[in-house]
Amino acid sequence: MTDDYMDFHEALTAFEPVLGLETHVELGTASKMFCSCPTAFGAPANTQVCAVCLGLPGSLPVVNGVAVESTIRMGLALHCDIASWCRFARKNYFYPDMPKDYQVSQYDEPLCTNGYLDVTVATDEGPRNFRVEIERVHMEEDTGKLTHAGGDTGRIHGADYSLVDYNRAGIPLIEIVTKPIVGTGSLAPVVARAYVTELRDLMRSLGVSDVRMEEGSLRCDVNVSLSPAGEPWGTRSETKNVNSLRSVERAVRSEIERQAAVLTEGGRVVQETRHFHEDTGRTTSGRSKEHAEDYRYFPEPDLVPVAPDGAWIERLRSELPEIPSVRRARMQTEWGISDFEMQALVNIDAVELVAGTVAAGVDPSAARKWWTGELARVANERGVDLASLPVTPATIHRIEELIASGALTDSLARRALEGVLAGEGDVDQVVSARGLTLVSDDSSLLAAIDTALAEQPDVAEKIRSGKVQAAGAIVGAVMKATKGQADAAKVRTLLFERLGVAE
């Protein structure tokens, strides 16, 4: 069955969206949530497991103190209330991603509740702020990784059997759940993206997670419903495990377009789980949630309650680092740029890249020029985030160094960067492999100038008679003859000297 879609803007003329985002983030602890197995990514299958995370009889879990502290710090940074007493709960379900047949989570007693996160999005009328309210932040454990065998495409549908790696089972997760986000209108997709971006930056600045989205350490469940203006909220769909910032935005957009078509055709939106597909940017139906699932939550008897005392919470509060929005305001002042220019950096997720480049010793305006210009263009062309390009602040620093020393011109620098982007190695390797060295000895440049003058005698005459703007044609010819590997300013100076004309 294929879905119909309504044009995005048309959809938002007829309907108002309500969003809800549930974000799971793996904490950056060394050991798991309830046992001392390592959490390092990429280990051989089933080599980071023990009696506790395999759920063997007689094993007893003990909570990781750093994970509790990280969750409280995240809660404080989100302006949440921290519970003075809370428990873990067992969420019971039959699925082989957990060997215990339950996941230890928190149910009716989350550690953190009632917070908010402010986000800013760009609009035609300038930056606009939204306050996203946080329902809760709670602790739980990640599940194992399934691989489906048999069938055609490695998907669960049509699989003959599945294989499970429990290395990930028991890695500390925090789940951050928003309250319904209303009033975003056509900005819904970008608000969703801005929220997840801000959340990611907050986690990084707190140092509680390295948030490597490409390794699945941040995953987002995206809830969307639509209703005609002023009507009660519609039925929502839940798109599971969306794992890039760009995908969050696309998933919201696609669900708005799909649900609008369903409702306009007189149908009803089914409450269900959906899956997002990177290739098409669309979602497909998963399991129906018509029958509410019954997880038979009950207090986890093997773990004692967590009861953070006030002094501990206040100490953690006093130790919170500079949060990203404050940091951005400081960067903006230091770099001397406008709100609009700062928002442009935020939109392409370039703030930290520029900050890293400046920290490496590059002038702020030069750093911004590279990331917002050439690199943003390439990232956009490739449909990837800036940070996943094979270019780092160190790359830009080296290029700027070579430009400053006169070893590269701007145009040679762009070709060096092109090589780095093409995966040909670091800057120096590309410069050497592509032979991007400046023709700097005067005699070869003068020879090229003489040839150009001889080929364009009329231009030479114009320059001699004082029409200095005609020099461009000669400089251009020399640049062409040297395959761009000359410094145009220097060629120009030599040209005027040759003709005995004052510039």
Partner 1 sequence: MPDISRDDVAHLARLARLRLGEDELTHYADQLSAIVEAVARVSEVAAADVPPTSHPIPVVNVVRADEIRPGLAREAVAAMAPAWEDDRFRVPRILGEE
Chain contacts with partner 1 (rule: CB under 8 A)? 29-31, 35-38, 44-51, 53-54, 56, 62-68, 85, 87, 92, 94-96, 99, 146-149, 156-157, 159-166, 294, 296, 299, 301, 303-308
Identify which of residues 10 and 101 has a Cβ nearer to partner 1 in the complex. 101
Amino acid at 479: M
Identify which of residues 54 and 323 has a Cβ nearer to partner 1 in the complex. 54
Q: Which residue has the tokens 């047949």?
A: 101
Q: Give yes or no for a contact between 394 and 358, defined as CB atoms under 8 angstroms apart.
A: no
User: CA dihedral defined by 253, 259, 260, 266, rounded to 10 degrees?
Assistant: 170
Instruction: Phi first, then psi: give them for residue 72, nearest 5 degrees.
Output: -65, -45
Query: Rounded to whole angstroms, what are the CA distances from 417 to 40, 427, 447, 454, 470?
Result: 33, 7, 29, 35, 31
Identify which of residues 56 and 404 has a Cβ nearer to partner 1 in the complex. 56
Identify which of residues 45 and 187 has a Cβ nearer to partner 1 in the complex. 45
How far, in Å, CA of 242 to CA of 221, rounded? Answer: 6
Identify which of residues 156 and 320 has a Cβ nearer to partner 1 in the complex. 156
Which is it for strands 298-299 and 282-288: parallel, antiparallel or unpaired? unpaired
Query: Rounded to whole angstroms, what are the CA distances from 360 to 50, 195, 350, 366, 374?
Result: 43, 29, 15, 12, 19
Query: Rounded to whole angstroms, what are the CA distances from 192 to 177, 195, 199, 247, 350?
Result: 13, 5, 11, 10, 18
Identify which of residues 149 and 489 has a Cβ nearer to partner 1 in the complex. 149
CB of 37 to partner 1, least distance (A): 5
CB of 281 to partner 1, least distance (A): 25
CB of 102 to partner 1, least distance (A): 12
CB of 129 to partner 1, least distance (A): 37
CB of 360 to partner 1, least distance (A): 31
Query: Rounded to whole angstroms, what are the CA distances from 271 to 23, 160, 219, 224?
Result: 19, 28, 20, 10
Q: Give yes or no for a contact between 320 and 206, defined as CB atoms under 8 angstroms apart.
A: yes
CB of 214 to partner 1, least distance (A): 22
Identify which of residues 39 and 184 has a Cβ nearer to partner 1 in the complex. 39
Identify which of residues 181 and 306 has a Cβ nearer to partner 1 in the complex. 306
Identify which of residues 125 and 293 has a Cβ nearer to partner 1 in the complex. 293
CB of 258 to partner 1, least distance (A): 23
CB of 7 to partner 1, least distance (A): 35
CB of 50 to partner 1, least distance (A): 3
Q: Mind spelling out the 3-state secondary structure of 325-381? A: HHHHHHHHHHHCCCHHHHHHHHHCCCHHHHHHHHHCCCCHHHHHHHHHHHHHHHHHH
Q: Give the rounded distance of the alpha carbon of 156 from its chain centre.
A: 28
